[in-house]
Chains A and B, each alone.
Chain A
Amino acid sequence: EAGVAQSPRYKIIEKRQSVAFWCNPISGHATLYWYQQILGQGPKLLIQFQNNGVVDDSQLPKDRFSAERLKGVDSTLKIQPAKLEDSAVYLCASSLDAGSYEQYFGPGTRLTVT
């Protein structure tokens, strides 16, 4: 069974530029999560989707971050404009459904904002 796929793996941008990350969850998984992991810390949830609907985006900085999961499968996370403090690893995870707490993570995208 293929795992969670993410791209790109690395991205370097200047502050105030825009960036987008892509995630393809495990086939059949209805719930998709985006996490931000700052160096030396555990992952922090940004947004949770159930199929193509948002369940929780309470910790998403909505003035600059946006995410969508239009067809209930793939998802994109966008930052516009980026700030220096956005430098982090962005992890995508999926689970069978919201009632399954066993989340499976992709390899992440390491973003560096200069």
Chain B
Amino acid sequence: GQQLNQSPQSMFIQEGEDVSMNCTSSSIFNTWLWYKQDPGEGPVLLIALYKAGELTSNGRLTAQFGITRKDSFLNISASIPSDVGIYFCAGQGPGGTSYGKLTFGQGTILTVHP
């Protein structure tokens, strides 16, 4: 089945630093989404990408849909303590997979030191 590989698995940064994480797949995806999950809560949607090459921002967050449709990147600028959490990428595949079905990566754990 489709698999997503997220890297890095974890990051420890100082407040104010920029963060970059990515997600790659051997399969093509039509849609990429980025979620953040806080402890004890469900994932919260951050950014959705629908076209290859698309670059979308949401405040300090910027995400890109790779040209090959097999990868996506998330950048967080000027990190703050509340950015702490687990970041997941998710992709929705082309025809042949269930309409609306998402495949999730294994997550990147972000720790921000004040």
Contacts and interface: CB of A to CB of B under 8 A. Distances in A.
Interface of A: 4, 31, 33, 40-45, 48, 55-56, 58, 91, 93, 95, 97-108, 110
B92 to A, nearest CB: 5
Contact of A103 (B99, B102, B105): B102
B110 to A, nearest CB: 15
B75 interface: no
7 contacts: A40-B106, A43-B88, A55-B100, A56-B101, A97-B100, A101-B48, A105-B35
Q: How large is the interface on B (under 10, 10 to 19, 20 to 34, 35 or more residues)?
A: 20 to 34
Nearest to A3: B42
B45 interface: yes
> A48, A99, A101, A110: which has the most chain B beta carbons within 10 Å?
A101
A101 B92 contact: yes
Interface in B42-57: 42-45, 48
B43 A101 contact: no
A101 B100 contact: yes
B104 interface: yes
Contact of A45 (B48, B102, B107): B102
Contacts of B72: none
Contact of B33 (A40, A48, A101): A101
B111 to A, nearest CB: 15
A106 B35 CA distance: 13
B24 interface: no
Nearest to A93: B42
A31 B100 contact: yes
A40 B9 CA distance: 10
Given A40-B106, A41-B107, A101-B48, A55 B99 contact: yes
Contact of A48 (B45, B100, B104, B107): B100
